[in-house]
Amino acid sequence: MSFELRELNGGIGREIVGLDLTNGISPETSAALRQTWLEYGVLVFRGMGTSPEVQLELSRCFGELEPHPIATFRHPDYPDLILLTNEGGPVGPVYDFGDGPVTQRIPWHTDLAFMTTPNAGALLRMVRKVETGGQTGWLDTAAAYDELDQATKDEIADLEAVYLFRAGLEEMRFNQQGGKRLSPRKENYPHFPPVANPLVWTHPETGRKVLNVSTLNIEYIIGRQDEAGDALIRRLIEHALQPRFQYVHEWENNDMVLWDNRRTMHAAFGHPLDQIRVVHRTTIKGDVAMGRVLPETGTAEVVA
């Protein structure tokens, strides 16, 4: 291989060392990187993200790229890049958790858990880091499933849960972060109907079982919409969020981190509103449906 692997200080992933991205990526290196991604779930490329072109070429080793569905989030010069920055205003809701206004705080979640087909993955590149906060964490939901006791595995094997789009953290039912919302609500989000997804996913490429409890989106277990069902969700979340399954990245400019969205959750820890952060992201398109759309009833409405 044209690169080496280094263990990370956490419960998931590997650092890619010695990879030269200045002269393109050979088919052999591309295939080796993709296999490493599937094996370890999270890959860290320290200091290698020197340009949008490098990020885009690396991203395409892992699959077809998917532009953001809302054109205003796309980079004006690179439509396959998502531009995430609070320069010119916050990119999302602003909250106060007791230490002043913060932006870009997103609790543990799997991207598009509120849709039937999740993203395959994503690659994040730090263009301009903040001095305070701004970390991103990933956790291994495949390892979390593996370490459940057999009785719990049997209990959840055939269960589905309802997952909803969330326009704000205050709408979460589980793993509630608290805090006071400072920014006004916006009503221009697309409408997403409720979906039913299995509590246990089977990874479409590796066959591994994955515990699917996206804390931002999970609403209730179908057929167990009661305190016992909620208690089961809380128990699964508490298990999955153990630090031994996590890796938290302290960003430096030009770092890139790739993750397999089908076997991870991730969280953005947020940063002070008065500090500017610029991030570029590519999204790797998913092509395997995990769940199904539900009819919209009074018990499963999306609040947007």
304 pLDDT band (50/70/90 cuts)? very low
pLDDT for res 167: 86
**pTM assigned to the model:** 0.94
Average pLDDT over residues 281-288: 96
245 pLDDT band (50/70/90 cuts)? very high
Mean pLDDT over all residues of the chain? 93
pLDDT above 80 for 95: yes
pLDDT above 80 for 113: yes
pLDDT for res 224: 96
303 pLDDT band (50/70/90 cuts)? very low
The CATH code of the domain at 4-293 is 3.60.130.10
Q: What angle do CA 73, 303, 83 make, to 5 degrees?
A: 10
pLDDT for res 221: 98
Q: What angle do CA 86, 76, 135 make, to 5 degrees?
A: 35
| Closest C-alpha to 224, from 203, 196, 263 | 196
187 pLDDT band (50/70/90 cuts)? low
288 pLDDT band (50/70/90 cuts)? very high
Q: What's at 17, amino acid-wise?
A: V
pLDDT above 50 for 96: yes
Q: Read off the tokens for 61.
A: 């080793």
pLDDT for res 92: 82
**Portion of the chain with pLDDT greater than 70, in percent:** 97
pLDDT for res 1: 64
236 pLDDT band (50/70/90 cuts)? very high
pLDDT for res 181: 92
Average pLDDT over residues 19-37: 96
Can you give the residue ranges of every domain in the chain?
4-293
Segment 131-172, tens digit of pLDDT: 999 999 999 999 999 999 999 999 999 999 999 999 889 999
**Portion of the chain with pLDDT greater than 90, in percent:** 85
pLDDT above 60 for 302: no
pLDDT for res 217: 97
pLDDT above 60 for 299: no
pLDDT for res 88: 84
Q: Read off the tokens for 183.
A: 């920014």
Q: Read off the tokens for 113.
A: 């858990």
Segment 259-279, tens digit of pLDDT: 999 999 999 999 999 999 999
300 pLDDT band (50/70/90 cuts)? very low
